[in-house]
Amino acid sequence: MTQVFRSPAGYVQGRNVINELGEHAADLGDSAIVLGDEFVLDLVGDRVHDNLESAGFDVALEEFNGECSEKEIERVATVHEEFGADVIVGAGGGKAIDTARAAREHTGGALVSLPTIASTDAPTSSVAVIYTEDGEFVEFHVYERHPELVIVDTEIVAQAPTRLFRGGIGDALATWFEADAAHRSGATTIFDARSTRTAQQIARLAYTTLREHGRSAVDAVENDAVTDSVEAVVEANTLLSGLGFESGGLAAAHAIHNGLTQLEATHEATHGEKVTVGTISQLVLEGRDDAFVEEVAGFASSVGLPTTLGEIGLEDPDPDELEVVAEAACAEDETIHNEPFPVSPADVRDAIVGADAIGRRLSADGGR
Ligand SMILES: NC(=O)c1ccc[n+]([C@@H]2O[C@H](COP(=O)([O-])OP(=O)(O)OC[C@H]3O[C@@H](n4cnc5c(N)ncnc54)[C@H](O)[C@@H]3O)[C@@H](O)[C@H]2O)c1
Ligand SMILES: [Zn+2]
């Protein structure tokens, strides 16, 4: 069967690379619109503006309203069109980048991702996650094109709240387990094709990088420091996890995350925090041996990620609530069916319960 690997055209990462944006974007055009929310424009707007201008771009900064909704996408596309920009720069978190990506689909031109946090796979992907104006999930859009350029300034990322960095680790921790499950079952990726050996190794490298550098990277980011381990983990969270999920495939962990989002009580937990619970549940579902599950859960806990339902807002879930999660995780088009065996809602419910019990035992033991 056909195998497909796709990716952004360029990726630039390092301390102060925001000052090289114009240089790396030079062949993408000569006018640019920069989309970021009020906080992000305050943080980087002037630097981005001046840098692009000195590289010969006409530049406009546009404030993002905070939600990747159809209405906001259309508004941004109109601003983009009126300005006649060749390039749109999506600056900030996943929502601003997704909105820039969706807007350029209407208008054409190049997309530059400028993440200011290492929290999700959005910077490198071809996917936008669309919400209502009130923040309810609507759908995923998969576009033909990837960003032309991804530029990640690690000094900015290291100064952002550590919880967002930890969330990125949680999201990236799932990548290898999901890509591996999808590969073993012969499932297709979001490109409707089999994955490549390249994508499998990228997903695996995300995992080994986190295991080798995750703890010290979190320690450093807690102190706003950029160490080589921080560079390694930013790359794992952003590039390796981003390429790994798209070209490698998803499986149970993200489906269980999607199920968990059905319960209002989990809404305070970040994407990566819920994905972590999904990952440990996937390992239990797959019947991995105790030592391995405990090792992964112990790592998650050591970087400050949740391993119990209580830590993501579900202190004492009643059986009906877990039923809702399990049913949603097993919806017909969910990636849980990329596991190499049939999965039923009862299996998922009990895997979540089993994973939670392991997490609670480990924290009671303090033996992590
Ligand atoms: N497209 C994809 O492939 C993909 C993948 C995963 C998640 N997502 C989407 O990404 C979104 C979640 O993204 P997110 O977790 O990055 O957050 P977000 O975009 O929801 O919000 C980011 C928040 O962090 C703030 N912020 C940004 N940089 C900061 C900094 N340096 N310091 C302090 N605060 C800063 C922003 O002002 C904003 O309030 C969801 O909509 C999710 O569906 C998309
Ligand atoms: Zn994710």
Please tell me whether residues 98 and 61 are part of one structural domain: yes
Cβ neighbours for 209, distance < 8 A, ≥ 6 positions apart: 232, 233, 235, 236, 240
Q: What single string gives the DSSP state of each residue in 47-110?
A: HHHHHHHHTT-EEEEEE--S--BHHHHHHHHHHHHHHT-SEEEEEESHHHHHHHHHHHHHH-SE
* Tokens coding 257: 């995350």
Question: Distance between CA atoms of 360 and 218, rounded to whole angstroms?
Answer: 23
Check whether 254 is labelled as a binding-site residue. Answer: yes
Whether the pTM exceeds 0.80: the reply is yes
CA 286 to chain centre: 23
pLDDT at 138: 85
- Bridge-based pairing of strands 137-142 and 149-153 is unpaired
In a domain, 277, yes or no: yes
Q: Identify the burial level of 134 via C-beta atoms within 10 angstroms of its C-beta, where 0-12 means exposed, 13-18 middle and 19 or more buried.
A: exposed
Residue 129 CB–ligand 1 contact under 6 Å: yes
* CB atoms closer than 10 angstroms to residue 55: 17
Q: Considering only CA atoms, which residue is closest to atom 20 of ligand 1? A: 95
**Residue 179, domain CATH:** 1.20.1090.10
Do residue 165 and residue 154 come from a single domain?
no
pLDDT band at 303 (very low <50, low <70, confident <90, very high): very high
Report the distance separating Cα 159 and Cα 322, nearest Å.
37
The answer on 80 and 229 residing in a single domain is no
**pLDDT level of residue 207 (50, 70, 90 thresholds):** very high
Mark whether 71 and 146 lie in a shared domain: yes
Q: What is the pLDDT of residue 368?
A: 46
- The ipTM (two decimal places) reads 0.99
Amino acid 20 reads E
Cβ(35) to ligand 1 under 6 A?
A: no
Domain assignment present for 6: no
Question: Are 307 and 359 a contacting pair, CB within 8 Å?
Answer: yes
Mean pLDDT over the full length of the chain: 96
Tell me which of 158, 178, 211 is where a domain ends. Answer: 158
Percent of the chain residues past pLDDT 90, beyond the cut: 95
| Coil, strand or helix at 267 | coil
Q: Are residues 93 and 184 in the same domain?
A: no
Is the Cβ atom of 39 under 6 angstroms away from ligand 1?
yes
**Is the residue at 187 inside a domain?**
yes
**16-40 confidence digits (pLDDT tens):** 999 999 999 999 999 999 999 999 9
Domain extent for 151: 11-158
Please give the average per-residue pLDDT across 44-59, as a whole number: 98
2 domain-assigned: no
Domain at 15, CATH number:
3.40.50.1970
Residues 201-217 have a mean pLDDT of: 98
Residues classed as catalytic = 171, 254, 257, 271
pLDDT at 325 over 90: yes
Instruction: Please check the confidence at residue 236 and state whether its pLDDT lies above 80.
Output: yes
**Is the domain of 328 the same as that of 256?**
yes
Residues 279, 246 share a domain: yes
Is the pLDDT at 209 greater than 70? The verdict is yes
User: Which residues, chain by chain, have CB under 5 Å from ion ligand 2?
Assistant: 171
b/e burial code for range 57-80 (CB count within 10 A of at least 16 → b): bebbbbebbbbbbeebbebbbebb
pLDDT at 7: 98
The structural domain count of the chain equals 2
Ligand 1 mean position, distance from CA 266 (Å): 17
Give the confidence band of 367 by pLDDT, cuts at 50, 70, 90: low
pLDDT tens digits for 330-347? 999 999 999 999 999 999
